[in-house]
């Protein structure tokens, strides 16, 4: 075998939900003997630098670095400093979805920089986010294999694929009429047009973009997935045979963070002292705390936050609630019922901003996770062996929630049936019911047992000899043999 070091370029889409797993992946490959280089823009490089430095101090022999690409926001017609998708949420009061599309389309500006970097470094592979369809061609020019990172499960990819092929949404009269997604292996998956949230009109700029995303995947070398084979083997096999794409399940990627500091340093700086948070959890009985968080981008209206607060309080369960406000809400706390924190002081903890999520999920006191079903969060919940309350809101989150509730049977839906932009309010009664349901009772116990088993399987997958561990080996061997 050629012993020359493998060099992999990792190019995450610039948003925390994409950068976090890609950094985990870059660290994973570095720890397995590859040289990893992350490609990003100046502001995002600042976010990645600290955890990378910490990783290098712990592992001086591992090779990992950053290459910074220029991204002139103002010249590109974007607001100054708009280098990260999460910025858009906090910036634009109206029309934020148009700005988000513009931001995604603007990333193509980095194509030339990517090509000249590939030309000079001649890496073994380029792992680029699905939001960069143009990257397949850039890599191809220099004979470098391009891998796609979707950030989601293969189950969700299979759902999207069958929606495109069979177009079941065209056979129903309204956007809220349920239908079965045809062609899937296993369970019948029922969804609505709203929930599927797919851009079908290929004539719009965003529709054209999605078409490019699909085509670039078909001509790519394959797909890397933050999941493990045993979790979704039927779907992985279906995907390989139908889309004829090679898939390497190499996750859960969050499990590559072993130490306290690594787990605490994922994403933004936590707005709570991590040690204090763990001390608070230490004071609670095992499995008694519900952790509620909605990812890196979602924020709710005051009205919805109030319902959540009342629901949590009346459930009587211990909780950690991560609240991210949008910029319209200002500093006042009208979203919190009067005296809420005094009344719930022994039972609850509110984290206003960013939580050290993986540290919390891994704590023995946590017994359930209320999640928006972003795939990173879902996978982190699975890796921690936790049952979940599912509260999907957009993107591919409704597919993820079907996987958690119908296929894996470790989730309870809170009552979220529509995209959040449609404005359905989840009532305090629904929050109360779902939170109790995930912690208390016979069905909760059955769910807990299933979730615990999946958590053990997830950990086995990344251990030496496990399926994800072996997939990393196979993938690296293949890159080596191409040299």
Contacting positions for ligand UDP (CB under 6 A): 16-17, 20, 266-267, 293, 295-297, 322, 354-355, 357-358, 374-377, 380
CB of 99 to ligand UDP, least distance (A): 17
Residue of 16, 18, 150, 249 with catalytic role = 18
Q: Residue 446's beta-bridge partner residues? A: none
CB of 370 to ligand UDP, least distance (A): 12
CB 156 within 8 A of CB 400: yes
Residue of 7, 24, 86, 129 with catalytic role = 129
**Judged by CB, which is closer to ligand UDP: 320, or 412?**
320
**Judged by CB, which is closer to ligand UDP: 296, or 405?**
296
Q: Which residue is nearest to ligand UDP (CB)?
A: 17
Alpha-helical (H) ranges within 265-348 are 274-282, 302-315, 340-343
Q: Which residues of 43-64 are buried (b: 16+ CB within 10 A; e: fewer)?
A: bbbebbeebbeebbeeeeebeb
CB of 395 to ligand UDP, least distance (A): 7
**Judged by CB, which is closer to ligand UDP: 179, or 294?**
294
Element (H, E) at 348: strand 348-352
Beta strands 289-293 and 318-323 are parallel
Integer Cα distance of 370 and 379 in angstroms: 13
**Judged by CB, which is closer to ligand UDP: 16, or 193?**
16
In DSSP notation, 207-271 reads HHHHHHHHHHHHTSSEEEESS-GGGSHHHHHHHHHHT---EEE---GGGG--SHHHHHTSSSPPS
Q: How far is CA 58 from CA 51, 113, 457, in A?
A: 11, 31, 27
**Judged by CB, which is closer to ligand UDP: 124, or 254?**
254
Integer Cα distance of 181 and 211 in angstroms: 20
CB of 304 to ligand UDP, least distance (A): 17
CB of 18 to ligand UDP, least distance (A): 7
| 18 carries an active-site annotation | yes
| 129 carries an active-site annotation | yes
What residues act catalytically?
18, 129
């Amino acid at each position: 075998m050629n012993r020359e070091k493998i060099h992999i370029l990792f190019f995450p889409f610039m948003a925390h939900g994409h950068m976090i797993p890609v950094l985990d992946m870059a660290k994973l490959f570095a720890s397995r003997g590859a040289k990893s280089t992350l490609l990003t823009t100046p502001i995002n490089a600042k976010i990645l630098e600290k955890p990378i430095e910490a990783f290098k101090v712990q592992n001086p022999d591992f090779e990992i670095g950053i290459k910074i690409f220029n991204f002139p926001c103002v010249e590109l017609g974007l607001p100054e400093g708009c280098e990260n998708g999460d910025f858009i949420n906090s910036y634009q009061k109206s029309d934020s979805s148009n700005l988000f599309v513009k931001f995604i389309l603007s990333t193509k500006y980095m194509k030339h920089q990517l090509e000249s970097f590939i030309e000079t470094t001649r890496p073994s592979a380029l792992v680029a986010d699905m939001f960069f369809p143009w990257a397949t061609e850039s890599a191809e020019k220099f004979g470098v294999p391009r891998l796609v990172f979707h950030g989601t499960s293969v189950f969700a990819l299979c759902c999207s694929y069958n929606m495109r092929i069979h177009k079941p949404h065209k056979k129903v009269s309204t956007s809220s009429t349920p239908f079965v997604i045809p062609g899937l292996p296993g369970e019948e998956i029922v969804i609505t047009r709203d929930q599927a949230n797919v851009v079908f009109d290929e004539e719009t700029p965003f529709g054209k973009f999605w078409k490019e995303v699909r085509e670039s995947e078909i001509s790519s070398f394959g797909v890397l997935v933050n999941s493990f084979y045993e979790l979704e083997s039927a779907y992985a096999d279906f995907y390989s045979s139908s889309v004829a794409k090679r898939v390497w399940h190499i996750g859960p990627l969050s499990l590559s963070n072993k130490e306290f500091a690594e787990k605490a340093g994922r994403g933004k700086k936590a707005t709570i002292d991590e040690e204090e948070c763990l001390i608070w959890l230490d004071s609670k009985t095992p499995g008694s705390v519900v952790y509620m968080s909605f990812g890196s981008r979602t924020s709710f209206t005051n009205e919805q936050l109030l319902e959540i607060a009342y629901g949590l309080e009346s459930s009587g369960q211990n909780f950690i609630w991560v609240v991210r406000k949008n910029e319209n809400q200002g500093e006042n706390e009208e979203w919190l019922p009067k005296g809420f924190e005094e009344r719930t002081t022994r039972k609850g903890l509110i984290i206003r901003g960013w939580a050290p999520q993986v540290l919390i999920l891994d704590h023995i006191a946590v017994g359930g996770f209320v999640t928006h079903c972003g795939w990173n969060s879902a996978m982190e919940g699975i890796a921690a062996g936790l049952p979940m309350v599912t509260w999907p809101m957009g993107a591919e989150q409704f597919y993820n929630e079907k996987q958690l509730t119908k296929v894996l049977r470790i989730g309870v839906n809170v009552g979220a049936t529509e995209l959040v932009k449609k404005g359905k309010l989840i009532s305090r009664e629904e929050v109360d019911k779902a939170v109790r349901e995930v912690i208390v009772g016979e069905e909760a116990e059955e769910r807990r047992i299933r979730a615990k088993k999946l958590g053990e399987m997830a950990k086995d997958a990344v251990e030496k000899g496990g399926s994800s561990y072996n997939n990393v080996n196979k993938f690296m061997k293949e890159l080596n043999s191409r040299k």
